[in-house]
Amino acid sequence: MGDSDGSGNPGDGETPVHEVWVDAFSIDTTTVTTTDFARFVAATGYRTESEVFGYSAVFHLALHADLDDVLGQPPQTPWWLGVRGADWAHPHGPLSTLTGLAEHPVVQVSHTDALAYCAWAGRRLPTEAEWECAARGGLPGRRYPWGDAWHEGRRCNIWQGRFPAVNTLADGWLTTAPVRSYEPNGYGLWQSVGNVWEWCADWWAEGSYARSATRNPVGPAAGEQRVMRGGSYLCHDSYCNRYRNAARASNTPDSAAGNIGFRTVALPTP
Ligand SMILES: [Ca+2]
Ligand SMILES: [Ca+2]
C-alpha cells in the first residue's frame, strides 16, 4: 500500500509504503448503480441524508435547478453549489432525473447511506486495504490500475481542460460515465480510479499507514471522517491528481456530493 513514485499530496498520508496481507474477499466489479440503489429504496423506503437535510452538493457546470434553489457555494471550492432538492434521484438538482443514468454510479449518497445499502444487500464496504488491493489489479507498486503509462482520456473518466471552467470532454464525460466504461483492471474492476470517489469502511487518519496492522488492517478505531478512494470525474493534474491507486481522501460520514459513490464487498467482515 502507498505511493511508490512520490506523487502523493502532503497531508494525504500516502506514505510510508508498506506491505499488508488481506484475506481473500469478493468485491463488486463496478460501483453501485442508480438502478441498484433504486431497488434498495423501493424495498425499504430508505431516505438518504441529502433528502433529510433537503440539499446536497452539485458541480456548477452540471446544475439543473432554478437559481432560487442554489443555497450557497463554499469559498474554498466555489465550483460546488449547495442545491436544495439535490439527492440520489436528482443528482444535478431538482430539475434533473435519472433518465439515461440507469447504468451510472449512484451519487449523492453519504457514508451513512452506503452502510444502510450494505445492510440491506447483506454486504459491506471494503476496508481501505482491500480497496487498494483490488484497485491495483495484481500490479503492485504501479501508479494506475493498468500500470504506469498515462493514456490521456482512454482509460478513465477525469477532467480534461482548464479546471473548473472548461472541460474538453476528451474522455467523453463531464460528470459520471456508465459503470462499465473504458476497460477493467486485471481483477475485473471497472473505474476504480476516476468517475466517482468510493467510500471505504475505515476511519480516516493522515498517519494511519505508520501504525497499520500488517494483517487485514481496518484503520483507526475512531475518527471524524471516513476514507474515500480513487478520485472522480473532477480530478485533474492541476487541481487533484488523485486518480491514482495510492491516492487517499476523506469526508465526514454525512457528506454527499455528485462525485461520491461506493462499491461493496461480500461478508464476512475481517
Ligand atoms: Ca471526464
Ligand atoms: Ca472510482
pLDDT digits (tens, 9 = 90+) for 186-212: 999 999 999 999 999 999 999 999 999
Tell me: pLDDT of 153 over 90. Answer: no
For residue 204, how far is its CA from the centre of ligand 2 (angstroms)? Answer: 18
> pLDDT tens digits, residue range 33-56?
999 999 999 999 999 999 999 999
pTM exceeding the 0.95 threshold for the entire prediction: yes
For residue 172, how far is its CA from the centre of ligand 1 (angstroms)? Answer: 6
For residue 258, how far is its CA from the centre of ligand 1 (angstroms)? Answer: 13
Write down the pLDDT at residue 251: 98
> pLDDT tens digits, residue range 235-270?
998 878 999 999 999 999 999 999 999 999 999 877
Ligand number, closest to the Cα atom of 185: 2
> pLDDT tens digits, residue range 112-127?
999 999 999 999 999 9
What nine digits make up the cell of 26?
Answer: 469478493
What nine digits make up the cell of 166?
Answer: 472548461
- Amino acid code (one letter) for 139: L
For residue 69, how far is its CA from the centre of ligand 2 (angstroms)? Answer: 29
Write down the pLDDT at residue 154: 85
More confident residue, 153 or 24: 24
Write down the pLDDT at residue 232: 98
- Amino acid code (one letter) for 138: G
Write down the pLDDT at residue 151: 83
> pLDDT tens digits, residue range 63-94?
999 999 999 999 999 999 999 999 999 999 99
State the chain's mean pLDDT as an integer: 96
Ligand number, closest to the Cα atom of 194: 2
Write down the pLDDT at residue 21: 97
Give the span between the Cα atoms of 80 and 92, in whole angstroms: 11
> Which residue carries 487541481 as its cell?
239
- Alpha helix segments (H runs only) across the chain: 34-44, 49-53, 111-121, 128-136
Write down the pLDDT at residue 239: 78
Length of the chain measured in residues:
270
For residue 34, how far is its CA from the centre of ligand 2 (angstroms)? Answer: 15
Ligand number, closest to the Cα atom of 126: 2
For residue 15, how far is its CA from the centre of ligand 2 (angstroms)? Answer: 21
Write down the pLDDT at residue 219: 97
3-state secondary structure of 71: strand
What nine digits make up the cell of 48?
Answer: 438518504
